[in-house]
Amino acid sequence: MLAPIIFDEPETVDVRLASLDLDRQVLTDALVQAHMYFARLTSHHPLLYRYGVLTAETVAALRDFLAPRGWEVRNEGNYELVFNPRLNMSIAVASGNEATGDRLRVPSNKSEKGPRTAKAVKDNQTADFFPETVPTVPESIVPADTWILLHHRCASAIRLELSRPNGFDDTERFVTGWSERILLGAISLDNDPMPMLMPQLPEDDILITRKAA
């Protein structure tokens, strides 16, 4: 498998994201908004919600932010996506392991993934390496190019990257390789207040104070 193309310099990151109808701010803001929900967790919250709150709320925030730009909601067998019909591109969200955001290591998902992730990765592989094997089909049913917004929360920050998977271990059910990685840096988890424009209340700036990790 070829080494991934890695974008980590601010200028190259911004250019590559723009080519995908995205920008660094919208992806970062989605995680910031999701972390507001995480910071409010108590021992009374259900365990399943605690484990998935960052991912679920990031999906919701991405949809809130990107829908006005023409992106759409997709749910393929409970595989929750935000979809760009012009680019035929989907974004999934997943928690990543400790290598997330580190250009010197190969990241992966933190928890096992199912057949929908496996299929998305195989569709990416086919598009990359065997384009001649893709049958001639109407454009409307060509498999979407799938990217994953990986996030990893540690004690002092949330590291994140938007990356395109092209390797998957069907036995262990983990992503094993990437064709591209766009490293988005880290969101500091401190006590400094941070104003943020909430998508559901577009006329109001809400002051948010992050809870210490």
For 56-86, give the DSSP string: HHHHHHHHHHHGGGT-EEEEETTEEEEEETT
Rounded to two decimals, what is the model's pTM? 0.84
H helices present in 67-181, as ranges: 115-129
Residue 213 confidence (pLDDT) above 60:
no
Q: Are 122 and 176 in contact (CB under 8 A)?
A: no
- Total domain count for the chain? 1
d(CA 160, CA 98): 11
Give the pLDDT of residue 205.
44
**CA 28 – CA 14 distance, rounded (Å):** 13
Judged against a pLDDT cut of 70, whether residue 191 lies above it is answered with no
Say if residues 2 and 177 touch (Cβ distance below 8 Å).
Answer: no
Question: Tell me: the pLDDT tens digits for 135-168?
Answer: 445 455 689 999 999 999 998 899 999 999 999 9
Location of structure tokens 């195989």: 122
Segments forming the whole domain that contains residue 102: 5-209
174: Cβ contacts below 8 Å, ≥ 6 apart: 108, 109, 112, 113, 168
If you count DSSP H runs as helices and E runs as strands, how many of each does the chain have, helices first?
Answer: 4, 9
Residue 163's nearest CA partner among 85, 102, 204 is 102
For residue range 30-73, list pLDDT tens digits in order.
Answer: 999 999 999 999 999 999 898 899 999 999 999 999 999 999 99
